[in-house]
Homo-oligomer: A and B are copies of this chain.
Amino acid sequence: MNDIRELARSKMSICKACKECNGIVCAGWTPGCGGKGNGSTFIRNVAKLKEVCVNMNVISSNEKLTCETDFFGSKVSLPVYVAPIGNIFVHYGANMSEYDYTKALVDGVGKDTIVFTGDGQNIDVLMEPLKAVDDGWVVPTIKPWQNDEMKKRIDMIKSSKCSVCCSDIDAAGLTALKTGYPAVEFKDEKALKEIVEKANMPVIFKGIMTKDAAIKCMNAGASGIVISNHGGRVLQDACSTIEVLEEIATAVNGKMKIFIDGGFRSGSDVFKALALGADGVLIGRPFSIAAIGDGANGVRKYLDKIHEELKETMMMCGCRKISDINRDCVRVSWR
């Protein structure tokens, strides 16, 4: 991965592709790849993950280990997904089109996992990536636009082959999208329900950080949520995602899929989230750096690394399949 990071550094002007991607160097670099304001939310995402450790347990069978998971009817090789990042030029200073960026991601991960794609005021940010995928093996993520625009874009997705969609409703807080046209807005439970009904396919709401919000998503008919603080890019001084996961999972109690993002870097990090109740993990920055640095090849290498690390962690904790991972597999320092 050192090579890929070095390549990436030569191809982008904002992100420094640090050896440890922890939000410290880039604190406050928004627009850009850093956390908002003092950068504390991004930094806390990474720091709190270190306060979870895994319980090694080697007494087990030699049954073949698999990370296979169901993602709304599709089989993926591991429950790690590519987080939606659009406007790669604005965020990384990389001279790469949305199409090429998505192409690198989807070619890189193949059918092993699924790429979430982004959105922007310019509708090309939403649609160009979809052109890079011809079989619907992607999750378009729409910004929480005002009603008419929202419906228009949902219709466009429905006319693609995609069978699951997402909306990062915390993007309502993105200053840059509050003015101009279309503009984002906040969604209440009723508005979320309308989106779900309009979409007529499984809908995932991204940007959930409390159990109350999770329950509202359930009530609105969501099929899943992403516990996310937008990588620390919409609010300073927010809680980390990993520390709110368990109480949200307890409240949801299996009635909705729970995804999470925010500072996950290794397979052992992914394992921690699964143990605390997540069904899958979205990873953003490292995939972006891999795609910018070495295209599909870099993405593949990073995915293989995460996959290998997840397998090793499972194997060493007595888990042979994803459903074997449970709360007893980790120990948390913050309680």
Residue positions of A touching B, CB distance < 8 A: 20, 37-38, 40-41, 44, 50, 52-62, 169-170, 172-173, 175, 185-189, 192, 207-210, 212-213, 216-217, 229, 234-240, 243-244, 266, 268-269, 272, 309, 312-313, 315-316, 318, 328, 331, 333-334
Contacts and interface: CB of A to CB of B under 8 A. Distances in A.
Contact of A55 (B38, B239, B312): B239
Contact of A44 (B53, B237, B268): B53
Given A59-B188, A60-B186, 8 more contacts: A37-B266, A55-B239, A57-B210, A58-B213, A59-B186, A173-B315, A237-B313, A238-B316
A61 B56 CA distance: 43
Contact of A268 (B175, B235, B266): B235
A266 B238 CA distance: 13
Contact of A238 (B53, B59, B229): B53
Given A50-B40, A237-B313, A56 B209 contact: yes
Contact of A309 (B37, B59, B229, B239): B37
A54 B309 contact: no
A235 B172 contact: no
A58 B237 contact: no
A55 B209 contact: yes
